[in-house]
Structure 1
């Protein structure tokens, strides 16, 4: 498993070792032990540029995922792609949801990795519920490993 981490902001400090363990825990739980991915931490101004360029939305967002493969979900042993997280947005969301920054970042890393593996919460309410259920399971596993504090998990999405 190869995980590349680049921090392009200075406002928030998260240990690279912790970020790497979070990514490895998620990929292990998803049976992707041979996968490679890149994690990039940025400020809102950089995220806004990326969001405008790739999604046509002129505002920062919390997380973007750039898959290295188009089409159906990829096999094992391949490069998954890049997960980009705005730590400024993550910090605001953490405060709004009464979470720690580590809880929020772990959720965003999880969310981004699932997108790289083909999950898409925007295609249907059922797809969103499935993706959220997997996120909750993965985050509980991170709690169990002591990588994030207990509590602060996102709520399951309602049926219907």
Structure 2
């Protein structure tokens, strides 16, 4: 079976040793790409707190750096057979801090945020409870297929 084509450009605006490799990012992004999408072109940028805060303020009106921002090429619904275009921005210090606070492996948290962002690019959202449930279920399934634990599992300890 032919895999859908993903062109992923990874930009490190921070020390690349602080983040996963391009190969890892590509695997995680591809795993979240719906099979009905023939092709996708995505830029993934890893940023510091200053750039993360600036982008979040400019595009969401929030004066803080967040873990992941997703930018779609346009707001049109996806059409089967048409390419998917978009950008993901991950703030390395925020991702690292969250992973530590949540007791998660750093690569697992990065993988989850890439999967999460890729699903947003494809039109998934978590504003309404039913949408959140669907998106979280899909994220969990993809993460487990990648060999990571359920990102939403509550620590029973």
Q: In structure 2, the residue corresponding to 1:21 is in which secondary structure?
A: helix
- Root-mean-square deviation (CA, aligned residues, Å) is 1.7
**Contact between 1:7 and 1:41, CA under 8 Å: does it hold in 2?**
yes
Consecutive unaligned residues of structure 2, counting only runs of 5 or more, are none
Consecutive unaligned residues of structure 1, counting only runs of 5 or more, are 144-149
- Alpha-carbon distance in 1 for matches of 2:62, 2:78: 26
TM-score normalised to structure 2 length: 0.86
Structure 1 residue 19 corresponds to structure 2 residue 25: yes
Q: In structure 2, the residue corresponding to 1:35 is in which secondary structure?
A: strand
5 Å-filtered alignment, 1:26-105, equals 26-27=32-33, 30-31=34-35, 32-105=37-110
TM-score normalised to structure 1 length: 0.84
Count residues in correspondence.
147
Q: 1:139 to 1:96 in 2, by over 3 A?
A: same
**Contact between 1:80 and 1:117, CA under 8 Å: does it hold in 2?**
no
5 Å-filtered alignment, 1:69-148, equals 69-122=74-127, 124-143=128-147
**Contact between 1:74 and 1:117, CA under 8 Å: does it hold in 2?**
no
